[in-house]
Amino acid sequence: MKILLIRHAKVAFDWKQSYTSEEYDIACRLYDEADIIPVDSHQETGDYERIYVSSLKRALQTAEQLFPSAPASMLVRTHLLDEVPLRSFSDTHRSHSRVVFDVIGRFQWVRGKRQEETRDETRKRADELIDLLEKNNENAILITHGFFMNVLVSRLKKRRRYEIYRSSTFLAEPLEKIKVIDRQPHCGGCHHNCLLDRAGCLIGQDKARKAGIQQKLLVRRICGTL
């Protein structure tokens, strides 16, 4: 299995330098509703079998314009790929720099305060998405958003089975790609119960380890002594 992460195209929206809290919240909503700047470079899907896009408008538009020859049946929209929502850090009539709202809002996300989604909830959503991809075991393109991409990559690293290739070290630029390769793919046909019968894949190994199966019992079963 391999995954191609793509950040959506640049959005046709001009942010102001400063906002009150109400103005900032309105701007965030307008950004979500805005169209992307048209994508000129069209691409083929190659050996990728599915294109997953977030439920936000800019991700779907990116998929349709970047891969115009892909059939509609190939596209799957899911909230699991949505950007981590952001809102003002307090209710205030004072104007603050947009950067201040962005940075403090992300600190609140970490601490689980005021923002619509906490860090733990975002991580859980990313893990749910990875579980879905591993269950389907198919080559997939994921069109998502900059901040959520970082969370998703960090959760992929936790699995210790993926090689990740990226050019940026922090926030991906519009249309930037991150390639993810499964180092030890599913061996096929064992429903991830590999270690109950044979060496198998990493999913089977993790499943067996979590079930508390000891190596001695595994060896005995493999040798046919049970």
Instruction: Say which residue the tokens 């210790």 belong to.
Output: 160
The model's confidence at residue 169, banded by pLDDT at 50, 70 and 90, is confident
The model's confidence at residue 108, banded by pLDDT at 50, 70 and 90, is very high
**Residues 116-121: contacts with CB within 8 Å, 24+ apart?**
116/85, 116/87, 117/84, 117/85
Do 107 and 77 share a domain, yes or no?
A: yes
Over range 121-135, report the average pLDDT. Answer: 97
* pLDDT value of position 183: 85
Listed residue (28, 23, 85, 30) closest to 54, CA to CA: 85
Do 53 and 119 share a domain, yes or no?
A: yes
- The pTM is what? 0.81
Check whether 187 has a pLDDT greater than 80.
no
Kindly report the length of the chain.
226
Do 147 and 123 share a domain, yes or no?
A: yes
Do 138 and 156 share a domain, yes or no?
A: yes
* pLDDT value of position 195: 47
Check whether 221 has a pLDDT greater than 80.
no
CA gyration radius, the chain: 21
Do 150 and 223 share a domain, yes or no?
A: no
Do 24 and 130 share a domain, yes or no?
A: yes
Spatial contact of 69 and 41, defined as CB atoms under 8 Å apart = no
Check whether 104 has a pLDDT greater than 50.
yes
Count the alpha carbons within 13 Å of 24 in the hemisphere toward its beta carbon.
25
Do 90 and 171 share a domain, yes or no?
A: yes
Do 192 and 163 share a domain, yes or no?
A: no
- Give the integer Cα–Cα distance in Å for 178 and 175: 10
Over range 192-218, report the average pLDDT. Answer: 54
Over range 76-84, report the average pLDDT. Answer: 98
Provide the CATH number for the domain around residue 94: 3.40.50
The model's confidence at residue 16, banded by pLDDT at 50, 70 and 90, is very high
Quote the DSSP letter at residue 95.
-
Structural domain boundaries, residue 164: 2-179
Q: What's the pLDDT tens digit per position in 28-73?
A: 999 999 999 999 999 999 999 999 999 999 999 999 999 999 999 9
Residue 27: other Cβ atoms inside 10 A = 18
Do 190 and 215 share a domain, yes or no?
A: yes
Spatial contact of 147 and 83, defined as CB atoms under 8 Å apart = yes
List of residues 6+ apart from 154 with CB closer than 8 A: none
* pLDDT value of position 170: 81
- Residue 217 corresponds to which tokens in the numbers above? 């019992």
Number of structural domains found in the chain: 2
* pLDDT value of position 185: 58
Do 50 and 130 share a domain, yes or no?
A: yes
Do 154 and 219 share a domain, yes or no?
A: no
**Residues 197-202: contacts with CB within 8 Å, 24+ apart?**
197/221, 197/222, 198/222, 202/159, 202/160, 202/161
Do 95 and 10 share a domain, yes or no?
A: yes
